[in-house]
Structure 1
């Protein structure tokens, strides 16, 4: 099965306003940043993969897990529907779905919800990798 980038972004937008909940996976009820990506892909029939064995503190597993499930792409080449990996204090710990060249959707703890945000220069400097979701064309 495959979906367009626009369909992937549209599905992610249906999660806007979902409260932040560590390891949550339910649209409208609660999710975290990884849950948003997994939930969006599952809603579109792209995967049945999930991970739930991660803690609130970075432990080095986020990036290797991303690389086993998604296809790496250069951050400068990322497009709408691709997944961005951010490092806070040098630890890869946060992911977001790119919606266009200057916006992203993410379950962001400071906002306590899934939000669509502008990728300002500060955020762009924290991108350490980008990934293409298999099945999104």
Structure 2
């Protein structure tokens, strides 16, 4: 399989309008940011590489564990934060000193950069990758060429 970045973006955009539902990953029924990524993975590869454990809204902040980042490293291909391309998986730290706990898919790059993500109260949306969002990016990944 050759990685098709445009197909990743098209699949992410198909999910736009899906309501935000914590821990869900059901097309047009409900998803959170991890659920969106899981749905895109299923579209690309079929089965998910591991079962997502139950997680709370604080995503392991009390323990200070980077569980989401560690899972991304297990299944995605890390790349330099500055090496941007459409279809990249973006990992965000929402507050300084907090664990990284938000994900999105780069939809466009350049001056009018945007990303698709599931955002509490809004559902799956495409948002401008504005300076405040860009400052929160702590890691960038690409999907693997083949299922591992």
In structure 1, distance between residues paired with 2:34 and 2:115: 14
In the alignment of these two chains, the number of paired residues is 135
* Alignment CA distance shift 1:5-1:46 (3 Å): farther
Give per-residue Cα distances to partners, 1:60-107, cap 9 Å, x unaligned. 211111111111111110211110000012320100000111110000
| TM-score between both structures, scaled by the size of structure 1 | 0.91
Correspondence list, 1:1-137, <5 A: 1-45=1-45, 47-49=47-49, 50-59=51-60, 60=65, 61-89=67-95, 90=97, 91-101=99-109, 102-111=113-122, 113-135=123-145
For the Cα contact (< 8 Å) 1:15–1:114, is it kept in 2? yes
Q: Structure 1: 5+ residue runs without aligned partners?
A: none
For the Cα contact (< 8 Å) 1:46–1:135, is it kept in 2? no
Specify the SS of the correspondent of 2:16. coil
Give per-residue Cα distances to partners, 1:9-44, cap 9 Å, x unaligned. 101111000000011010100000011011011012
Moved over 4 A (4+): none
In structure 2, distance between residues paired with 1:6 and 1:77: 17
In structure 1, distance between residues paired with 2:27 and 2:16: 9
**CA shift at 1:47, angstroms?**
4.8
Give per-residue Cα distances to partners, 1:106-133, cap 9 Å, x unaligned. 001142x100000100100000000111
* Alignment CA distance shift 1:41-1:23 (3 Å): same
In structure 1, distance between residues paired with 2:3 and 2:77: 16
